[in-house]
């Protein structure tokens, strides 16, 4: 089941989306919001696959709203203004629905979102773990479990629960195995998973409750982090 919500300041537009969504067996419309702030608060506590988002709203532009989200679902923009189409695709929108849109056009956008989700899921399955040498044997580590990677000369300490593991390899060689931008090297001695970052600035990053310095030769890290969170550098 593909889960979605819709945000639009026009109740009639939300009624139409609700009616269209009810016809699609694999789509679950979890909530609708006329107030973007209420939608943002809900998304901070819940996850969905797709966001149906109006662009022209009284208090905030939908494009700017989407950029501020920390957890970004796939987005399908809905608007009566065709001039926003290019801007919509610049933030990697799955589709752009120009109001008033018919059911067939809505269905096409939803199918595009489902196909893209299937592609992302297949990519995630292909790169969801790595193997490292621990005590003369290979140990599988799920990437989602990694909280921090620390370089110690020829060894690496990989911080996972319940306790870190130590493996004989260089930070550079491990970095080559890890997907980017999911993992970012911020210092000659540290690699961090971007989704575990709690806060960051130009000189420090907080991850897993630890304050980690950003190395002087990693000046591009701040821009990388801004981009990974969907914020403008």
Can you list the residues of the chain whose pLDDT is less than 50? Answer: 88
74 DSSP β-pair partners: 50
Distances (CA, A) of 198 to 123, 179, 181, 205, 212: 25, 20, 16, 8, 11
Query: Counting beta carbons within 10 angstroms of the beta carbon of residue 91, is it exposed (0 to 12), middle (13 to 18) or buried (19 or more)?
Result: middle
Distance (Å, rounded) from C-alpha 12 to C-alpha 17? 9
Q: What is the pLDDT of residue 228?
A: 66
Distance (Å, rounded) from C-alpha 149 to C-alpha 74? 29
- CA 3, 6, 10: angle at the middle one, nearest 5? 160
Torsional sign, CA 11, 77, 108, 122: negative
Does a cis peptide bond (omega within 30 degrees of 0) precede residue 65?
no
Phi, psi angles (nearest 5°) of residue 97: -100, 120
Q: What is the pLDDT of residue 14?
A: 97
Q: What is the pLDDT of residue 25?
A: 96
Q: What is the pLDDT of residue 56?
A: 86
| Residue 51: alpha-carbon gap to chain centroid | 13
Pairing between strand 204-207 and 197-200? antiparallel
Q: Three-class SS string for the chain?
A: CEEEEEECCCHHHHHHHHHHHHCCCCEEEEEEECCHHHHHHHHHHCCCCEEEEECECCCCEHHHHHHHCCCCCEEEEEECCHHHHHHHHHCCCCEEEECCCCHHHHHHHHHHHHHHHHHHHHHHHHCCEEEEEECCEEEEEEHHHCCEEEEECCEEEEECCCCCEEEECCHHHHHCCCCCCCEEEEECCEEEEHHHEEEECCCEEEECCEEEECCCCCCCHHHHHHHHCCCCC
Delineate the domains of the chain, giving CATH numbers in brackets: 2-125 (3.40.50.2300), 129-228 (2.40.50.1020)
pTM, two decimal places: 0.57
């Amino acid at each position: 089941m593909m889960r979605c919500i819709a945000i639009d300041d026009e109740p009639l537009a939300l009624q139409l989306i609700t009616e269209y969504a009810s016809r699609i067996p694999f789509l679950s419309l979890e909530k609708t919001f006329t107030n973007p702030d209420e939608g943002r608060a809900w998304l901070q506590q819940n996850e969905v696959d797709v966001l149906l988002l109006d662009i022209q709203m009284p208090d905030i532009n939908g494009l700017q709203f989407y950029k501020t989200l920390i957890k970004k679902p796939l987005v399908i923009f809905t608007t009566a203004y065709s001039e926003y189409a290019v801007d919509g695709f610049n933030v990697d929108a799955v589709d752009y629905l120009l109001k008033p849109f018919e059911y067939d056009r809505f269905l096409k956008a939803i199918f595009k979102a489902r196909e893209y989700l299937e592609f992302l899921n297949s990519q995630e399955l292909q790169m969801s773990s790595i193997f490292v040498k621990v005590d003369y044997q290979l140990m599988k580590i799920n990437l989602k479990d990694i909280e921090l990677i620390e370089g110690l000369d020829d060894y690496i300490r990989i911080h996972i629960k319940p306790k870190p593991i130590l493996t004989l390899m260089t930070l550079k060689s491990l970095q080559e195995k890890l997907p980017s931008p999911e993992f970012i090297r911020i210092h000659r001695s540290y690699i961090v998973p971007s989704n575990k970052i709690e806060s960051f600035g130009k000189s420090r990053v907080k991850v897993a409750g630890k304050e980690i310095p950003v190395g002087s030769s990693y000046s591009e890290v701040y821009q990388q982090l801004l981009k990974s969170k969907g914020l403008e550098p």
